[in-house]
Amino acid sequence: MSRIGKKAVSVPAGVTANVSGQTVTVKGPKGELKTILNEQVLVKMEQGGVKVDPINKTKLARSSWGMSRTLVANMVKGVTEGFSKSLEINGVGYRAALNGKNLQLNLGYSHDVVYPVPAGIEIKVPKPTEIVVSGINKQQVGQVAAEIREWRGPEPYKGKGVKYANEKIFRKEGKKK
Count Cβ neighbours within 10 Å for each residue of 47-59 and write b for 16 or more, e otherwise: eebbbbbbeeeee
Tens-digit pLDDT profile for the chain (177 aa)?
Answer: 567 888 889 999 889 999 998 999 999 999 999 999 999 999 999 887 899 999 998 999 888 898 999 999 999 999 999 999 999 999 999 999 999 999 999 999 999 999 999 999 999 999 999 999 999 999 999 999 999 999 999 999 998 999 999 999 999 998 887
> Residue 163's CB: how many other CB atoms inside 10 A?
19
pTM: 0.88
DSSP 150-172: HTTPPPTTT--EEEETTPPP---
> Residue 41's CB: how many other CB atoms inside 10 A?
21
- 174 membership: H or E segment, kind and range: none
Report the alpha-carbon distance of residue 128 to residue 91 in Å, rounded.
12
Give the strand order in the sheet containing 23-28. Answer: 16-20, 23-28, 31-36
Report the alpha-carbon distance of residue 53 to residue 56 in Å, rounded.
9
- 149 membership: H or E segment, kind and range: helix 138-150
- Which of 164, 70, 78 shows the shortest CA–CA distance to 122? 78
DSSP-assigned letter for residue 8:
-
Report the alpha-carbon distance of residue 177 to residue 166 in Å, rounded.
34
Domains of the chain in start order, with CATH, are 3-80 (3.90.930.12), 83-164 (3.90.930.12)
Report the alpha-carbon distance of residue 113 to residue 106 in Å, rounded.
6
